[in-house]
Amino acid sequence: MRVLVTGGAGFIGSALVRHLVLDKGYEVLTLDKLTYAGNLASLRAVEGRNNHSFLKADICDARAIHEAFATFRPARVMHLAAESHVDRSITGAADFVQTNVIGSFTMLEAARTYYAGLSGEEKQRFRFLHVSTDEVYGSLGDAGLFTEKSPYDPSSPYSASKAASDHLAKAWARTYGMPVVVSNCSNNYGPYHFPEKLIPLTILNAMDGKALPVYGRGTNIRDWLYVEDHARALDLIIERGRVGETYNVGGRNEVKNIDVVRRICSLLDQRLPTGTPREELIQFVTDRPGHDARYAIDATRLETELGWKAQENFETGIARTVDWYMDNEWWWQPMRKNYAGERLGLTSGNKGTG
């Protein structure tokens, strides 16, 4: 099985590549532009393997993308490449529109051309998975869950750009008969996560005794999904999911941001005691614009139709994540030399997490 993975040097993408190469034995071409969030070190576990190759390319580069299809001839395309940081999108929306909208259009067009040239069994088995986020649905109230039928209501330039790309993917399925499947996931966490996001930033700052800034009062709620569970779900969705359908992937682990930070503090206090509780490092800062109050995913379709089940709950997953960052300084230390843990992409005075 030949699989083309875009964004494969990123957080979720690298977890997927490791799963496909090491666990499934598939032949994988990882395509990544290697922006700040793409890191070849995240692919060290598959480096040098005969069933893995890497191509540095921009998904907006139509010539490079068409050539990748023509030479690699994938049976599956798993499209994860995206600008994915809400705070950065607020002050730099152009990059998000370019990569998430134009880049996805470029991928879909290249796949359409390639698909049109296939025949027989090759054409029958080809699939294109467009990987997206629960943020396209906007903010939930105190009750209820996002389902595959929830209306789109994006709040930030990031989520708006992802919503646009979702609509493009579904339109290519309906208009051109492309075998496209879409997935929308809740907040991922786990190893190899770039330390501008809530969990890795909190872990590393707490280890260093630095301030732990939290937006507002930390009451925003997220449904946390361990990244390796997500990788397994994506493989299952592209293999068994129905063409033209959407599958929501969630961990059924709703936790307030402040409780996430406190749990990390508690775990580090147990593992690296300092005599002073790390909760004292928490600092509440002005909330960011367009900050959705609550996300929570209903993964019933994925669980009942495809038989997926998360292997990690939040307690086991966050403990594994803290331990990974403690044990893998080789991966994150080079980033800390150029990025000391500040929240990126925000205006002055609004540097929180979550």
Q: Which of 58, 134, 223, 312 is catalytic?
A: 134
134 labelled catalytic: yes
DSSP of 62-94: HHHHHHHHHHH--SEEEE------HHHHHH-HH
339 labelled catalytic: no
Q: Which of 137, 158, 192, 247 is catalytic?
A: 158
At 45-99, the pLDDT tens digits run: 999 999 999 999 999 999 999 999 999 999 999 999 999 878 789 889 999 999 9
- pLDDT confidence bin for 131, thresholds 50/70/90: very high
47 labelled catalytic: no
Between the alpha carbon of residue 8 and those of residues 96, 104, 162, 237, the distances in Å are 18, 15, 18, 17
C-alpha–C-alpha distance, residues 253 and 248, integer Å:
14
Query: Which region, left, alpha or beta, applies to residue 216 given φ > 0 means left and ψ of -120 to 50 means alpha?
Result: left
At 195-243, the pLDDT tens digits run: 888 999 999 999 999 999 999 999 999 999 999 999 999 999 999 999 9
Q: Which of 87, 135, 229, 235 is catalytic?
A: 135
Q: Which two tokens stand for residue 338?
A: 């150029």
293 φ, ψ to 5°?
-75, -40
At 303-343, the pLDDT tens digits run: 999 999 999 999 999 999 999 999 999 999 998 876 665 55
Q: Which two tokens stand for residue 35?
A: 């922006």
The CATH H-level superfamily of 2-189+223-249 is NAD(P)-binding Rossmann-like Domain (3.40.50.720)
